[in-house]
Structure 1
Amino acid sequence: MARKVFFSFHFKRDSQRVSQIRNCNAVSNHFEQTPFLDWAEWEKIERTGSTAIKRWIDNNMHGSGVVVLCFGLETHTREWVIYELEKAHKEGRGIVAIDMSGMKDLQGNIDKKGKNPLLVATDIKGTELFYYAKYKTYHWIDDDGRNNIDDWIEDAAVAAGR
């Protein structure tokens, strides 16, 4: 059975870029992915409140061994991204962070560099997750993500003992 991965990202701003990552052959051919919501589905969950959002995250993260954090300019400001990272850490999942700066969306807009959300998410003692050696950060373009993401995910799973 394929390893299950959960993608964490700023939905409204970065879903087009994340879709490119999720749909590359390395990911789509080797890993089971959590559902990718369209705008209408996300807005429906969002309208029902934070309890519904948390439930959706908890249910969809269940059984995943690795959280793939895809971050852009504003991702570090997103409450639910931080929740997902802290939950993944607490539950012993692997985390791999992918910097999407330089990637284009469907309109050709290029994303600027943003703060790594691992510098915002913390453990129970307040230590930023960025400082855990087992959580690696890569750059999608500079580190040839299209050809290396499967190794990044496997390495994160092994580092987490999954």
Structure 2
Amino acid sequence: MARTTFFSFHYKDVESFRVNVVRNSSMFKKPGDTSKVIDGSIWEEAELKGDAALIRLVNENLVGTSVTAVLIGTETHSRRWVKYELVKSFVSGNAILGVNLNRIRERETSSITPKGLNPLDRLAIYVPDDYRTLTFLELVNGRWQTFALLPQVLNRKSNSIYFEKSLRAYLGMVGDQDRKIRFSALFDTFCWKTDDGYNNLASWAEDALAKKTHQL
């Protein structure tokens, strides 16, 4: 299945070469499988111009993509713009998956770093009784608060892949009284090393797309 994958990550994992390991995987040796990665120098330039420029940069690079893969290092969960990329991916209708990088050795030191917190565990969607809006939440210091960069959207099926039908089914299944659904309840996470990401990343992306289709 042809796809374009948007990669979300902390730039420290570019310096350690972990992101490059993923980009050199067998997924990108197959016709039709492509990726979109925002170059570090472009990020630096946009950061100097403020939040509006960064939002525009992410939004423009998400156009034409169908899958978002968050590459999870030790500190990825704390990166504000990773959170925005994931929430915006949801609103844009991308399939989403997580990939833990911690067991990939750093290029310079050959060390394995501690496993980071999963950003998909730290983002959630609040669904009201009438399903008319979705409010995005982030976990900060043990408390859920509104995600300021993209706090709320109208619950229109055309906007995203997991709206009324699947959210209603999920809430009915778990009996979630506070009507909050973590991203990790909707999207899968894998380990690059133990789950053989080199050979399986393309399959993970296909499975995420299939899951999206079934939830429409």
- Range that drifts further, 104-113 or 46-55: 104-113
**Paired position in structure 2 for 1:115:** 117
Q: In 2, Cα distance between the equivalents of 1:32 and 1:26?
A: 8
Q: Which amino acid aligns with 1:14?
A: D
- Range that drifts further, 115-124 or 65-74: 115-124
Q: CA deviation at 1:28?
A: 4.4
Query: Would you say the 8 A contact 1:65–1:94 is kept in 2?
Result: yes
In the comparison of the two structures, how many residue pairs are matched? 158
Superimposed CA distance per residue, residues 40-79 of structure 1 (whole angstroms, 9 cap, x where no aligned partner): 3321121111111111100001121110110011111111
Q: In 2, Cα distance between the equivalents of 1:161 and 1:65?
A: 12
**Paired position in structure 2 for 1:136:** 188
**Paired position in structure 1 for 2:198:** 146
Q: In 2, Cα distance between the equivalents of 1:142 and 1:35?
A: 24
Identity of aligned residues (%): 33
Q: In 2, Cα distance between the equivalents of 1:49 and 1:106?
A: 32
Secondary structure, aligned partner of 2:124: coil
The answer for unaligned runs of 5 or more in structure 1 is none
**Paired position in structure 2 for 1:62:** 63
Runs of 4+ in 1 over 3 A off after TM superposition: none
Q: Which has the higher helix share?
A: 1
**Paired position in structure 1 for 2:78:** 77
Q: In 2, Cα distance between the equivalents of 1:60 and 1:95?
A: 15
**Paired position in structure 2 for 1:34:** 36
Q: In 1, Cα distance between the equivalents of 2:190 and 2:100?
A: 6
Q: In 1, Cα distance between the equivalents of 2:92 and 2:123?
A: 14
Query: Would you say the 8 A contact 1:86–1:122 is kept in 2?
Result: no
**Paired position in structure 1 for 2:90:** 89
Secondary structure, aligned partner of 1:60: helix
Q: In 2, Cα distance between the equivalents of 1:154 and 1:143?
A: 16
**Paired position in structure 2 for 1:104:** 105
Secondary structure, aligned partner of 1:123: strand
Q: Which amino acid aligns with 1:85?
A: L
The answer for unaligned runs of 5 or more in structure 2 is 128-179
CA RMSD of aligned residues (A): 1.8
- Range that drifts further, 144-153 or 108-117: 108-117
Q: In 2, Cα distance between the equivalents of 1:28 and 1:34?
A: 15
Alignment of 1:7-46 (within 5 A): 7-11=7-11, 13-15=12-14, 16-30=17-31, 31-38=33-40, 40-46=41-47
TM-score (norm 1): 0.89
Q: Which amino acid aligns with 2:39?
A: L
Q: In 2, Cα distance between the equivalents of 1:54 and 1:116?
A: 22
Q: In 2, Cα distance between the equivalents of 1:91 and 1:28?
A: 27
Secondary structure, aligned partner of 1:33: strand
TM-score (norm 2): 0.68
Secondary structure, aligned partner of 1:101: coil
Query: Would you say the 8 A contact 1:34–1:60 is kept in 2?
Result: yes
